[in-house]
Amino acid sequence: MPGYTFVAPANMVIACGAKPVFCDVDPETWGLDARDAARRVTKKTKAVIAVHVYGNVCDMAAIVALARREKLVLIEDAAESAFSRFKGRCAGTFGDVGCFSFQATKTITTGEGGFVTASSQATLERMRMIRDHGMRPGKRYWHDVVGFNFRLTNLQAAVGVAQLESLDRAIADRKKLFALYRARLDGQAGIRLQAFRPEVEPVVWALGVLMDPAAFGMSRDALIARLAESGVETRPGFYPFDVLPLYHGPRLPVSRGLGLNVLSLPFFPGLPAPDVGFICERLLLLRR
């Protein structure tokens, strides 16, 4: 799994009694680097997790080839990239399992929760049992596996289904917002935006900016504090696993560089164009 991502995939690996093995990410797209992942495969390796970060989609051609060659289960974490596409195909539909999020900031939200997809009926049926206390369908209170209460409530489902009616507008709003930021920031000295390959059609979830501490004369966290003084709230990127003592991650140069130098700018549908201009102006003025 990638060394630069939110911790949820690593936590689930550990919860299953397995060991997460971290590999580096592509320095341009910030997605799992299939070549580095291939170097870390051993006889004990069971699966590869491709995490689609910030609305981008990993190089699924290379990752699918790796999974098939090494006979690995392929899991896609598309929590941040619902409705993004790779060569016309939706993120989360390439692997054996796809995982999506309905968390409050996502393109479709129910407040919390999510959904999963599976390429095989057997996997789907097993997941349905696990989410419902391990209970066998059609035989109430008979439990075949250790399960959990992972059921989405009817109320949450109704909220999500209603949003599907305006999905095209939600996607269009995000694409418009991304275009505004890109016009203001792309090519500016001291910062770099996440790259999207030509075969990727992104629905951006968060606007990540890789800052150069030398260009700003301060660290990423200091920059976040200075922007806050100007009334601009930002967030740090995901901390690399090697600085989180819990995970004992290896030092991965690309993941570390991103984890310590990426900040996320405000990005939500309805953010007015003048506000985008103000945010970008405040950021660029802080360069040396």
Spatial strand order in the sheet of 262-265: 191-193, 207-211, 262-265, 235-236
The pLDDT score that the predictor gives to residue 184 is 97
The pLDDT score that the predictor gives to residue 134 is 95
DSSP-assigned beta bridge partners for residue 200: 86
CA 170, distance to chain mean position in Å, is: 18
The pLDDT score that the predictor gives to residue 271 is 95
Nearest to 60 by CA among 74, 45, 46, 73: 74
Query: Would you list the domain boundaries of the chain?
Result: 8-164, 167-285
Spatial strand order in the sheet of 89-90: 89-90, 85-86, 200-201
Under CATH, which architecture does the 8-164 domain have? 3-Layer(aba) Sandwich (3.40)
Question: What is the greatest pairwise CA distance in the chain?
Answer: 68
The pLDDT score that the predictor gives to residue 261 is 98
* Stretches in the chain below the pLDDT threshold 70: none
Overall CATH class of domain 167-285: alpha beta
Judge whether 8-164 and 167-285 match in fold. no
Among left, alpha and beta (phi > 0; psi -120 to 50; other), residue 54 is left
The pLDDT score that the predictor gives to residue 95 is 95
Q: Which pTM does this prediction carry? A: 0.93
> What is the distance between the alpha carbons of residues 155 and 54, in angstroms, rounded to a whole number?
27
